[in-house]
Amino acid sequence: MEKFEKETAVSDFVSNFVDVSKFYGLCKSCPNCGNVWSCPPYGFEPLEIWNKFSKLRMIVYKIEPLSGCEENLALLEKTKHEMLLYTYALEKKNPGSTALSAGKCSLCSECSRPKNEPCRMPDKMRYSIESLGGDVEKALRELFGIEILWEVDGKTPEYYTLCGGLLLKN
């Protein structure tokens, strides 16, 4: 696995890569929309979160696939959790910062949101860049020179990518 990190001003990131209404439109076709507390719709404006911070540290893992589909799903979940633990540690080192998850929260096997019950771990749940309207595909291409590859006709891509981050006050 290769790791990449890059810091950018939140104001630049928001002007170049954030489009809340466009990405909320795309989120609506995802089954997690409205069913996981880390995903939209929210009771707040995503821009309110971006505007509380001055810097974004993007963290990208480029992962070599294994041979089978189930093995790859397990590998991605495990690596996503490792990234979350890494970003929790960064939060501790950077008071006032908040981590951004690589994709939806998957801390519970089933989210409590469909039952209309509160999040079970609000202190551990983190939003993702894309759930707050960020264009991760464009940002990876322009800031890291990395293309996100997708499975085509069930064919495993050359590599997988996970992208999380850390929002910092200064």
Closest CA relative to residue 113, chosen from 23, 40, 46: 40
Given the rule CB under 6 A, which of 57-65, 73-81, 90-98, 109-117 is the region that contacts ligand SF4? 109-117
Pick the closer one to ligand SF4 by CB: 70 or 110: 110
CA dihedral for 129, 78, 90, 40, sign (positive or negative): positive
Q: Are 77 and 106 in contact (CB under 8 A)?
A: yes
**36: contact with ligand SF4 by CB under 6 A:** yes
Question: Which of 33, 107, 143, 149: binder of ligand SF4 (CB under 6 A)?
Answer: 107
Shortest reach from residue 118's CB to ligand SF4, in Å: 8
Shortest reach from residue 141's CB to ligand SF4, in Å: 29
Closest CA relative to residue 164, chosen from 138, 122, 129, 132: 129
Shortest reach from residue 95's CB to ligand SF4, in Å: 23
**120: contact with ligand SF4 by CB under 6 A:** yes
- Show the 3-state SS of 41-100: CCCCCHHHHHCCCCEEEEEEEEECCCCCHHHHHHHHHHHHHHHHHHHHHHHHHCCCCEEE
Question: Which of 63, 108, 148, 149: binder of ligand SF4 (CB under 6 A)?
Answer: 108
Given the rule CB under 6 A, which of 33-41, 47-55, 82-90, 94-102 is the region that contacts ligand SF4? 33-41
In whole angstroms, give the CA distance from residue 117 to residue 101.
22
Residues in contact with ligand SF4 by the rule CB under 6 A: 36-38, 105, 107-108, 111-113, 119-121, 125
